[in-house]
Amino acid sequence: MDKGRLFFAFFILLAFCRRADNLYAQNITHLNFENGLEVKGNQTNDSFYQWKPYIRVGETNPQRCTLPQLKANAYTEINAEKYRRGKHSGKLTLDVSNGGVGHKAMFRYNLLPAGIQLQKAKEERWVSFSCYLSNEGDDKWETDAVPELIFQMHNDIAVSPMLAIYSQNDTFDIIYRFSDIDPHVADVSERSAIGTMKAWSGKAEKGKWIDWVFHVKFSPLTPDGFLQAWINDGAGYRKIVDKQEIRIGYNCSERTDLDIGIYKWPWKCPSDSGIKKRVLYIDEISVGDRTANFESITKYLSDFKKK
């Protein structure tokens, strides 16, 4: 090959590499709160849908109570007092001190639209975000034996999430689930076939920003999925979960959503909870597909090194 053709081939290869290097950046969506509910990233990919605040109050749990209930106070707002990066964060409040009921105050994002079967798609997703549990003041995160979720990946069906962070008694638990049945059409008795695994448990630190990173490949039927997770509580990122060759997810084609915020399902009805208010701060959320990596998904949380 003469020098001209060699240089031409080199420049073509270089252009392709630059284009490939930019693909992951186009497939990462970033949410911050500097200009309201600001979203940056590609919003045209079929797998990505706009973030939106999501609140549920005044709903009756027919298994526990049947009378209509007063609506709790729940809202999302932009906060300028506590923030992980920049000068603002998202503040989520769920308050049942008025005697009302309400169980959701979160930000929702569509990971996969309806019609995509998880087992066939073998989809991967990266997610990173930062949360803050206050240790003082009116927004203090009080210790409670009644659980809640602060993060979940779930299908649009009335079953437990396939991946979630649970908070209870000042402890965080990462739980994942799988099933070879379609929970959407299965008889209630068949739902006991859902596998539930605890991947990690640790102290719920208060008064500091906690960074989370998740990397998951869904595979509900065959053990070729995986789950990885990192946490940073101020001392640098450390890997806390590395589950390989696992089943994870449900065998269905319902919409798959990501919820980050407060989901305290016992508050669907008046509960035995000793507290009446939950406040959670969220900042710097990023979502990516299989083309992302640890460095790209933590771009906005990059002031600490990975361990």
pLDDT digits (tens, 9 = 90+) for 235-273: 899 999 999 999 999 888 778 889 999 999 888 776 778
CATH of the domain at 83: 2.60.120.200
Q: Does residue 307 sit within a domain?
A: no
Whole domain around residue 95: which residue ranges? 3-301
Query: From CA 233, how far away is CA 147, in angstroms rounded?
Result: 21
Which residues lie below 8 Å from residue 167, measured CB to CB, with a gap of 6+? 147, 148, 149, 150, 204
- Please tell me the predicted confidence (pLDDT) of residue 2: 62
- Please tell me the predicted confidence (pLDDT) of residue 40: 53
- Average confidence (pLDDT) over 144-169: 91
Higher pLDDT, residue 148 or 72: 148
Q: Does residue 146 sit within a domain?
A: yes
The CA-atom distances, in angstroms, between 131 and each of 38, 148, 291, 299 are 17, 14, 25, 16
Assign 82 a pLDDT band (cuts: 50, 70, 90).
Answer: very high
Higher pLDDT, residue 68 or 115: 115
Which residues lie below 8 Å from residue 191, measured CB to CB, with a gap of 6+? 159, 179, 181, 183
Q: Does residue 221 sit within a domain?
A: yes
How many domains does one find in the chain? 1
Q: Does residue 242 sit within a domain?
A: yes
Q: Does residue 276 sit within a domain?
A: yes
pTM of the model: 0.84
- Please tell me the predicted confidence (pLDDT) of residue 19: 34
Amino acid at position 155, single letter: N
Q: Does residue 168 sit within a domain?
A: yes
Q: Tell me: pLDDT of 45 over 50.
A: no
- Please tell me the predicted confidence (pLDDT) of residue 21: 36
Q: Tell me: pLDDT of 170 over 70.
A: yes
Q: Which two tokens stand for residue 106?
A: 């979160």
Among 116-120, 132-136, 303-307, which stretch is predicted with the lowest mean pLDDT? Answer: 303-307
Contact 205, 195 (CB under 8 A): no
Q: Does residue 306 sit within a domain?
A: no
pLDDT single digits (tens) 51-81? 677 777 766 555 555 555 677 788 788 888 9
The CA-atom distances, in angstroms, between 18 and each of 13, 23, 112, 205 are 9, 9, 28, 41
Q: Tell me: pLDDT of 38 over 60.
A: no
